[in-house]
Chain A
Amino acid sequence: MEKVTRLASERGVVIFTKSSCCLCYAVKILFQELGVNPTVHEIDKDTEGREMEKAIARLGCSAPIPVVYIGGKLVGSTNEVMSLHLSGSLIPLLKPYSATLS
C-alpha cells in the first residue's frame, strides 16, 4: 500500500495499469489526447505487483484497473474518468499539468 501511495502522490496524472489491459491503454490515450502525459505503472510487471493489486482493490473503485490519480488525489477508474470528462470537470483538473491546456 505504501508503494501505491508513494507512486500516486507523484506530480501529474498517475495511472496504475496492467500491460495486457486494453481499457487501461484507452484511458492513457485519452489523457494524451488532452495534452497530458500520464505516468503509467504496470503492476503486473512490478515485483510487488500482488500487494499493490490488493491495496488498489481496497480503494473500492468501480473497477480494479485502471486506477487514476491526479495531483495525488484519487479520481477512480474508467467510469469516473469518463463521467468527469463529459461533465467538463476533467480538463480543469488537468490544467496545471498540461502545456497545451493552460
Chain B
Amino acid sequence: MNSPTSHFVPPRRMGVYDPIHQISMWEENFRNNVDLSASTLLIDDAEIKFDNQSEYASHGIPGTSKQYDQEANRLADKIQRRLAQNREAARKSRLRKKAYVQQLESCRVKLMQLEQEVDHAKQKGLHIGGTGLGSNSLDFAASVNSGITSFEMEYGHWLEERNRLTMALRNALNSHVSDIELGELVDGAMSHYFKLFGMKSAAAKADAFYVMSGMWKSSAERFFFWIGGFRPSEILKILVPRIETMTEQQRSDISNLGKSCQQAEDALSQGMDKLQQMVSESVAAGQLEEQTDTPHMSTAMERLAALVSFVNQADHLRQETLLQMSRILTKRQAARWLLALGEYFQSLQALSSFWANRPPKPA
C-alpha cells in the first residue's frame, strides 16, 4: 500500500482526492479478500492520513482549515458508507455461496442413487427408464422411498454375496473337502437366504406393492413369481434331480414335503384371490352412491395392509422349505442342492440379460 505522506501534494485540493483513490484500491482488495479485519485497518489508515493532512494544514495556509474540516467530515461519511456497503455485499455473497453448495450436495446424493439404480438394473438385465425403478422413484416422498432405496442397495450386495457363496460351494464340492467344512458352507448359504427374507419383510412394510411386483428381480425371475418370490414347490421339483444318490426314505420324505408345499401354496393363493376380491369390492363400492360407516378408500387400504402379512407368510413358507430340506438331506447332498439353487437363479438372470439384448427381429 502506498503511504500518502510520501507524496508531497498541496493540502487544499490533492489532499482531498488522495484518500479516496486509496479507498477505491482498498475496495478492490475488499472484494477479493472478504475479510472484516481489513476494514478496521482501512479506518485506522484513513484517520492517520487525515491527522497528517490536518496537521500540515494547520501549520500551512491560513483560512482554509475550516473548509478542510468540513470536507474531511464528508469524506469520513463517504468512507463509512462505502465500508458498510462492502460488508453487506460480502455477507450476501457468502449466503449465495452457501445456498449453491447445499444445492450441489443434494444433487450429488441424487446422482449417487441414480447410479446405483442403473448399476443394479444393468446387472439384472432390466430395461432402464420404462420400469418403476428410475422414472418415479425421485418423485416419491423421502420416507416411502428410503425404505425401498435402501432395500435395493442391500439387495445388490446380497446378490454379490449369493454369487460368492455359490462359487464357494462349487469349489468345495469339486475339491472334495470334509463334510464338516461343507456343513459350514451349507449353514452359511441358508443363513444368507434367511437374511433376504428379513430384508424383504422390512421392504414390504415400506411398500408391499413393490415387493409383490418383483421389480427388484430380473425379468425371467419375475416370470415365475409367486407372492413376492420363488415358488417353494418349484425349487424342489426342478432341483431335486440334481442330487445324485438318495435313500428311499429321503425320496419319500422329499415327495411328502413337495406335496405339503403345494397344498400350503394353494391355500395362500386362494387367500390372495379373496384379498383381491375384497379390495376390488371396496374400491368399486366407492363408485356407488352408498352410505357406509367407513369411507371406501380407507376400507380398501385396511384390506391392502393384509398384503404385508401375505408376503411374510410366503417367505415363511420358503424358509420352512429350506429348513426341511436341510433336515432330510446330508450335508453333501444339501451342498449340491444349494449349488443347483444358486446356479438356477443365476441362469434366470443371464436369460433376462440375453432377452433384453436380443437383436431385433428382421422385418
Contact = CB atoms under 8 A, between A and B. Distances in A.
Contacts of A90: 260
B309 A86 contact: no
Contact of B316 (A22, A29, A82, A87): A82
The majority secondary structure among interface residues of chain A is helix
A21 B263 contact: no
Interface stretch (B57-65, B133-141, B272-280): B272-280
A61 to B, nearest CB: 14
Contacts of B303: 20, 22
Interface residues on A, range: 20 to 34
Contacts, number: 70
B317 A82 contact: yes
Interface residues on B, range: 20 to 34
B153 interface: no
A18 B196 CA distance: 31
B154 interface: no
A86 B306 contact: no
B274 A25 contact: yes
Nearest to A24: B271
B263 A34 contact: yes
A90 B313 CA distance: 17
Interface in A78-102: 78-79, 82-83, 85-88, 90
Interface of A: 20-23, 25-27, 29-30, 33-34, 63, 78-79, 82-83, 85-88, 90
Interface of B: 253, 256-257, 260-261, 263-264, 266-268, 270-272, 274-275, 278, 302-303, 306, 309-310, 313, 316-317, 320-321, 324, 327
